[in-house]
Amino acid sequence: MAGTVTVPGSSVPSTPLLKDELDIVIPTIRNLDFLEMWRPFFQPYHLIIVQDGDPSKVIKVPEGFDYELYNRNDINRILGPKASCISFKDSACRCFGYMVSKKKYVFTIDDDCFVAKDPSGKDINALEQHIKNLLSPSTPFFFNTLYDPYREGADFVRGYPFSLREGAPTAVSHGLWLNIPDYDAPTQMVKPRERNSRYVDAVLTIPKGTLFPMCGMNLAFDRQLIGPAMYFGLMGDGQPIGRYDDMWAGWCVKVICDHLSLGVKTGLPYLWHSKASNPFVNLKKEYKGIFWQEDIIPFFQNATLSKECDTVQKCYISLSEQVKEKLGKIDPYFVKLADAMVTWIEAWDELNPSDTVVAAGNGKAAAM
């Protein structure tokens, strides 16, 4: 069962952590039988299923799950012309689920990801670990060499400034994968049989000023702290690039988290990624990105956000302006992407008018 809160000495049934404060977002083009394996952990939670591809296809959801399902017709009906910012025929469509959710937390998972076992052979409740990661602070300002100091059996090491031990609010929890690792197409082609069997029992805060490759397969985040920045960029149908949706979101998110003093963690939990997508198809989707990212990364490393950018939305709009000005020179795609970033924020604010915003610097949510 998901991590539960038990009242000592009481017969009160335990309640899964954040049961009514977290949505599980699943992008899919398949039937969702994979949920059977996750049932003990996911059943108490509300699912938001984003059906990609042909909206006339019926997606079967196993009995007993509480869910809402959106297909492309729903996205177009809800967003109208703003639906243009939501990718079609790509897992990037999942970000629509983040937008329509009304909960404080979101966990997103691919439908070819299953429950993994830890070295003791115990099933890993990935959702419970993500919740622990999100509910405990991050340490982006000073690296703790004993990893997560807030974890049972660990602490800050000698020399760690006491003034920094309160840490920062955690905005993102990035989980990993046993079996099929999230390799890019060239690596997949060179190492077709490589499987990840290494279970590293650690959760690390990604230091301030450092970017990372965010994978959308096993990802949780505080929607109230960073949701508007979790736009999975324009990919799939009609776009020159694919499989960079989550990467794009991760780079934007990390720059904004650094600016707003929010934390990003990576490491536990693991899940079992079962399906290797076709490396040749992936290469066609990725190849421009493999060249472009040699310019994109320096762009994000040098992106600047002024002190007037005191909400995620303001940060994101500022980034979109810089994308248009600096990356637009590489390819017209980035002009289109910059416009889509603005459309995303407009759509987000339209669907979430009363969202709290984060004041810069203290990471504390401040009502609108």
Between the alpha carbon of residue 234 and those of residues 84, 187, 283, 291, 350, the distances in Å are 9, 24, 17, 17, 20
Nearer to ligand LCYJ2WEX, 52 or 128 (CB): 52
Residue 355 binds which one of ligand LCYJ2WEX, Mn ion, none, with CB within 5 to 8 A depending on kind? none
Residue 215 binds which one of Mn ion, ligand LCYJ2WEX, none, with CB within 5 to 8 A depending on kind? ligand LCYJ2WEX
Which has the closest alpha carbon to 114: 123, 105, 122? 123
Least distance to ligand LCYJ2WEX, CB of residue 28, Å: 4
170 three-state secondary structure: strand
Residue 284 binds which one of ligand LCYJ2WEX, Mn ion, none, with CB within 5 to 8 A depending on kind? none
List for the chain the helix, strand, coil content (%; round to 5). 35, 20, 45
d(CA 238, CA 328): 18
Least distance to Mn ion, CB of residue 84, Å: 26
d(CA 229, CA 257): 9
Least distance to ligand LCYJ2WEX, CB of residue 183, Å: 9
Residue 68 makes contact with Mn ion by CB under 5 A = no
Nearer to ligand LCYJ2WEX, 281 or 366 (CB): 281
Least distance to ligand LCYJ2WEX, CB of residue 363, Å: 27
Retrieve residue 293's tokens. 């990212």
Q: How crowded is residue 48: how many other Cβ atoms within 10 Å of its Cβ?
A: 24
Residue 184 binds which one of Mn ion, ligand LCYJ2WEX, none, with CB within 5 to 8 A depending on kind? none
Residue 183 makes contact with Mn ion by CB under 5 A = no
Nearer to ligand LCYJ2WEX, 1 or 281 (CB): 281
DSSP string, 309-367: --SHHHHHHHHHHHIIIIITTT-HHHHHHHHHHHHHHHHHHHH-TT--EEPTTT--EE-
Asked if the bond preceding 269 is cis, omega within 30° of 0, the reply is yes
C-alpha angle with apex 36: 33 to 40, nearest 5 degrees? Answer: 155
d(CA 244, CA 257): 20
Q: What is the largest CA-CA distance in the chain?
A: 65
Least distance to ligand LCYJ2WEX, CB of residue 249, Å: 10
Residue 149 binds which one of Mn ion, ligand LCYJ2WEX, none, with CB within 5 to 8 A depending on kind? none
Residues in contact with ligand LCYJ2WEX by the rule CB under 6 A: 27-30, 52, 89-91, 93, 110-112, 182, 215-217, 243, 245-246, 275, 277
Q: How crowded is residue 264: how many other Cβ atoms within 10 Å of its Cβ?
A: 29
Residue 29 binds which one of Mn ion, ligand LCYJ2WEX, none, with CB within 5 to 8 A depending on kind? ligand LCYJ2WEX
On whether the CB atoms of residues 47 and 128 are closer than 8 A, the answer is no
Which of 21, 74, 112, 295 binds Mn ion (CB under 5 A)? It is 112
Q: Which residue is nearest to ligand LCYJ2WEX (CB)?
A: 91
Nearer to ligand LCYJ2WEX, 3 or 216 (CB): 216
86 three-state secondary structure: coil
47's enclosing H/E stretch is strand 46-51
Residue 91 binds which one of Mn ion, ligand LCYJ2WEX, none, with CB within 5 to 8 A depending on kind? ligand LCYJ2WEX
Residue 30 binds which one of ligand LCYJ2WEX, Mn ion, none, with CB within 5 to 8 A depending on kind? ligand LCYJ2WEX
Q: Which residue is nearest to Mn ion (CB)?
A: 112
Candidate segments 28-36, 104-112, 225-233, 323-331, binder of Mn ion by CB under 5 A: 104-112
Q: Which residues bind Mn ion (CB under 5 A)?
A: 110, 112, 275
